[in-house]
Amino acid sequence: MESFVTTEEIVNEIVYFHVRNSHLGHKYQDYYVETPSKMVKPIYTRYLRIQAVFKSMDIAINNILELYYLNFNIIKDDYIIDTNLKGLLDDFVLKLLKINTPIAYDSRLSSILNSLFDFRVNYEKLCNRHLEHYYLEGIGLSSRFSSKVIYSVIDNYKEKLQEVDNILRMLIFPNIQMFDKNLLIEKFGFPDDDLNLIDEEHRKSLLEDF
């Protein structure tokens, strides 16, 4: 039976990896670079999935820091810009500069990717912080109320995030909508695990430890 992994799924998994790994730029990074399997299962499984997808595109992610810093040559010399993204950029340039002549976007794409990705990750961190703050026991009433109000405002913009996600998808996976899941599993070591189940088991283990 045919089965596919969408580029949208992988973009979301890259965002998840970054949101859950803000400590990688600090004292723990060497430990996890040397033994990435020591990361908690939800993060490690996503790392292997992301790594396998890029391997199928002949792009090597050699360690977790390359993924964390997006330092694995996504936009390389033979990069071909996504057709729909080029259309969006052409329209933007036409409206902004009032010109309709071809422009080379290659040198600007990495900057666009980094800016939008930073925004996407920070948005998710902000949502998580206020949502967790609201449910955290021992927090004062005023702080919990403030977090609830702030989270409700932030959450109202989630639908608009689709526009950001679509551009990230077009930047990272130009002209690709999905990957053959069976091929990823057989040739590139893509984990065929149920992420929802892994996440749920991890949440239960955290509650037991608490």
Q: What is the domain partition of the chain in residue ranges?
A: 1-80+176-210, 105-174
Confidence (pTM): 0.86
Question: What's the pLDDT tens digit per position in 146-181?
Answer: 777 877 777 777 888 899 999 999 999 999 999 999
Asked whether the beta carbons of 47 and 17 are under 8 A apart, the reply is yes
Q: How far apart are alpha carbons 161 and 7 in whole angstroms?
A: 16
Question: What's the pLDDT tens digit per position in 99-146?
Answer: 777 777 877 898 899 999 999 999 888 887 766 655 555 566 777 777
Q: How far apart are alpha carbons 130 and 143 in whole angstroms?
A: 10
Q: How far apart are alpha carbons 198 and 45 in whole angstroms?
A: 9
